[in-house]
Amino acid sequence: MARIRLISVGSRGDLQPYLAILLELQHRGHQVTLIGSLNFQAVAESHAVPFLPLPGDFTTLLNSEAGLALMQGKPVRLISDALLRELLETAHAAMEGTDLLLVSPLCLWGYHLAEATGCRLVVLSPVPIMATGDFPFLGFPASPPSKTGGRTRRRLRRRLNRISYRLVSLLKWRQDSRVIQAFRRERLGLKPLPWGGAQSRRTPPAHLVDPPVLHLISCQVLPRPVDWKASASLTGFCFLEPRSADGAILPTPYSPDRDLTAFLENGPAPFYAGFGSMITRDPEALAAGVVEASQLAGARLILSPGWGRVVPRAALPADVFLLEECPHSWLFPRVQAAIHHGGAGTTATTLRYGIPSTVVAFFADQPAWGRMLERLGVSPATHRLKSLNAEALAASIRALASEPRFRKRAQELQRCLAGEDGVACTVNAIEATLVGSMR
């Protein structure tokens, strides 16, 4: 039995794959602790996962001026120097006796805690973060290799793609280096890192040489780049819902109220529209645009307000239902298609349940997931929040409703994904790291 800690911050969608992994580790006899955002506490405790809260409720952070700017795609810093120091201090206090530390991409500062503790480190990422020449950072999916432009241009493009990962890592390090270098010196008793950070170390500690990077993405969706380091792998989508012994998805326990049941039964399958934890400066305008698009397309709609309270000011039409809380795993099999923000978790869930969708992307990796769904043949278009208009979204809704190819392809992918168990594959890789550290 190993003592395993996982550090993660963010929204509910950021938590769910990690919670599934921790539950499986716990089932296999390991002692686990989730060190996470305060807004994770209720969910962690409901699943009996030991939890240590970190400072900074992401619901509050995303509602701040910096959070709203981030949602607009502006290059702002959400976590201040003071908060970063608090995160380091709090997480460090929980590291004693740790055999293995798991971290999300937003918590790569855990590297320094692992160095001080002497434990192994594994990065768990829902997006591609290992350098590759196939596509730039957050620029997946890769385009098919171009046959034009000449060999020199193709080599240059691949080199620039690889450089983009190092550049992002360097910029992030330089942004946080003052706080982290001081923390290493004053609290951890470690030597300072080079100007370029951990990636510039010539001789890193033996237990931190090429830490495994497990990408929680199905190879059916993103083939593994051939130029990835051996330490990088694709272990599959990780879902919180349980499976039966033969791998079938078990029904999610949920009892809809009478109004929702009546809405689903009294008409054709509706579209779903929800943007999870995304927050916009004008949620009423976004809601009005989505409702108008559904009306233009003649589609029934279930609208989920989410963290951003995406609700129109005007009264809802009779064929639009406002749904506050409902598990995607229960609802998605009952809808025709989804309109969502393109978060990694929501994207994976639409594929798991065989429904097509169209993305209204806010920022970060969301446009890339939208393009991925287009390339997979389950989406007609990707929209950007800042340029969204009802007519364009209505065109996507019409295409999803009238062209069977989108649903057919979604159901093909659903069958492919049914044969995968990302949680088991990820935990197997984590345990292999533990075995390697004991040799």
Burial code (b: 16+ CB inside 10 Å, e: under 16) for 8-18 equals bbbbbbbbbbb
> What pLDDT is stored for residue 72 in this prediction?
81
Starting from the edge strand earliest in sequence, which strands make up the sheet with 31-37, in order? 51-54, 31-37, 3-8, 100-103, 120-125, 213-215, 232-234
Could you read off the pLDDT of 372-383 as tens digits, one per residue?
999 999 999 999
Instruction: Kindly report the CATH number assigned to the domain that includes residue 264.
Output: 3.40.50.2000
Residue 49 DSSP SS3 = coil
Q: Are 235 and 429 in contact (CB under 8 A)?
A: yes
Average pLDDT, the chain: 93
Domain count, the chain: 2
Same structural domain, 304 and 335: yes
Same structural domain, 352 and 384: yes
> What pLDDT is stored for residue 437 in this prediction?
61
Distance (Å, whole) CA 139 – CA 147? 20
Q: Which of 92-101, 145-154, 398-407 has the lowest mean pLDDT?
A: 145-154
217-223 contacts at long range (C-beta below 8 A, 24 or more positions apart) = 217/126, 217/127, 217/128, 217/344, 218/348, 218/351, 218/416, 218/417, 218/420, 218/422, 220/413, 220/416, 220/417, 220/420, 221/351, 221/372, 221/376, 221/413, 222/128, 222/140, 222/141, 222/372
> What pLDDT is stored for residue 154 in this prediction?
86
Could you read off the pLDDT of 335-357 as tens digits, one per residue?
999 999 999 999 999 999 999 99
Same structural domain, 212 and 273: no
Residue scoring higher pLDDT (4 or 254): 4
Same structural domain, 227 and 265: no
Q: Are 268 and 246 in contact (CB under 8 A)?
A: no
- Does the pLDDT value for residue 147 go beyond 60? no
> What pLDDT is stored for residue 14 in this prediction?
82
Same structural domain, 141 and 78: yes
Q: Is residue 248 part of a domain?
A: no
- Does the pLDDT value for residue 370 go beyond 80? yes
Same structural domain, 263 and 316: yes
Same structural domain, 73 and 43: yes
- Does the pLDDT value for residue 272 go beyond 90? yes
Tokens representing 265 are 């039964």
Same structural domain, 310 and 225: no
Q: Is residue 253 part of a domain?
A: no
Same structural domain, 346 and 424: no
Distance (Å, whole) CA 304 – CA 300? 13
Same structural domain, 13 and 143: yes
> What pLDDT is stored for residue 143 in this prediction?
58
Could you read off the pLDDT of 83-102 as tens digits, one per residue?
999 999 999 999 999 999 99
DSSP 203: S
Mean per-residue pLDDT, 184-196:
97
> What pLDDT is stored for residue 243 in this prediction?
66
> What pLDDT is stored for residue 404 in this prediction?
98
Confidence of residue 247 (pLDDT cuts 50, 70, 90): low
Residue 214: count other Cβ atoms within 10 Å of its Cβ. Answer: 26
Q: Is residue 378 part of a domain?
A: yes
Domain of 403?
258-418
Distance (Å, whole) CA 231 – CA 76? 31
Q: Is residue 277 part of a domain?
A: yes
Q: Is residue 425 part of a domain?
A: yes
Q: Please name the residues in contact with 253: beta carbons below 8 A apart, sequence gap of 6 or more.
A: none
